[in-house]
Structure 1
């Protein structure tokens, strides 16, 4: 009889203690997914996958080791535990490693309030195929589209359970439905490509296949006959599609692991102003139907709604137990744990304070500058925040979009850039990172 993820976790912990571990935690992830891709009106690829993966971390004193497997046989669980304990005995001591104290653990939670699983039945492969075909047809119908590179739909469920010898045991189940389309416009060396897509917990929340395909096609056509912009210093507007990457760099610099290593440009900035005074960055793990929501973290601690930046000032690091111990602080409940990796700090759902202007109003206020809609590559110096990325998008002249641009580089320093951001009000509220388009004056642009 197939064991549940919960029973597998407890079996692993029991085996670890029997093998000589002083403590242990275990994670089991059970998932299934279906993906469909179409091309030129016909099925191109169909795939279904199912599986269960197991991860076990053991402690012998302050020594730890981690093993993983996808074999659920009882003899394998015992072998995993024995191997992990033997590895831990050979590992160097880590004074900051260890499970949470029982007093730190979450006591109770209401899983239903998070709405992480769609109650609708699993869609048939034919339904996914028809969604993909509809997106492909809508994209192909856009004048100027030479071909649709791909259109695909998918569905999946994922059950995760975490248990530890300190008494914690908890899990949840998620579902996801996705649809995407990539269109190609033009021919030969003048071809341009762009995409659109949507991924939601509930199918009823998804945008229509026609809208996704049409948007992918329109975006690709708009990129035709791109030019290199002039080199100089210009205002740059980061489109809402990619603006969250800027806040992501801020979050990375406030990550407790980076701070503990002393390798962050924010390491001495606690309490200092890092954004304009009217802006805050709020982390909220309790938003229903959102991928980044969860009641507890990867170490069994309760998650919390908190302000990482409040009125422009940095208020706290993102911490798991190990990084908190290194810094002499308390965990912020932000540990993520993978099957084959030890816990590390990471963020949940993030929202930046919106502005009071629309994207179009910011474009009009730019004068001459660059609207960035996609970026490639990345050169970020984590120690001083120096920033350089390849970019493409549209040139703005006299407050109007004039023509597409590509093959340029935008550069600056993150500390200076973030202090000058002006947000629009166009963020998509259903994303895990709710960040609007962001205007930054005076960035260095390298073109022709």
Structure 2
């Protein structure tokens, strides 16, 4: 199992050194110590938010975003920066303006090299981001990750499982239009994220996604629009906060993580995948998809978790896979709703130990599967964890069904 697992990047990787340099840089360390305001680390991985048009296509531009923000009055308070020049003589930080100077947010931008289009993100990048935050976790009050929108929901879901016992907010955001454009959503998304990570730091200690004035739990969102500014939605769980004239935080929705020491899991199993059923899919296609080295899949089924009951060839391939130890998680193809074994077309999956994904998004189910497979070696233990609500990623509305499933996997 472990030989095909994605492990932590080497400690000498370029982006790891960037975060380690924050600890060892005397100027940054001195400024962090002297600053009396909230401090936020912005990890700029890439994405549309920092792109410019080059040869008629959008492309990321290195070493540009920070200086552009420095020139924006809404993103940087130059007067405040001048007033604390002795604290930050090299102007290493930017300062989000606030009517009350004591509520000003100081933020430092850590820029990845190279900048990444989110379509190029891999599991190793999730691990890299997690390590960057782990390195400097005690130095900042909160964290913002600037990320491309195409795969942001995958990254947010992965990080939500990798971080345990968070006491600080980690907010992912990006934009549909580059921040350099006169008309863009990037400025509002960045500023809103900084407010959540800085001013609301003690109130929302979760991995979240901020977009279009709404804050979502990171493992509950899906990108729904490739063109509109309301690009993300969480159909099965309401936003944790909304920022309008007032900031409305829904405290009762914040996930109760329990007590424990902050920790980061940096192992993810890459032998996972997503198989979407469609009318006429062949047994050969399913069989080949389930072949080694695959260890777990998210099976996207129809409606409330249904498969064709008259296709024993397909059902036999799924049965053989579960008997070999492949973990199969049943998630609906619908964007809203839950898997419920209500119909004959779904009950067979329950009989062959296909796990209900309840109302998890495909992104959350895939990343949870990767996390669980890497962390636990015993298959019954893995199945137990897959049906448990680990980070607020799913709702278990039927406790009797949950207890029945859990009893199937007791040691």
TM-score (norm 2): 0.26
TM-score (norm 1): 0.25
Q: Which structure has the highest helix share of the two?
A: 2
Bigger radius of gyration among the two:
1
Q: Which structure has the highest strand share of the two?
A: 1
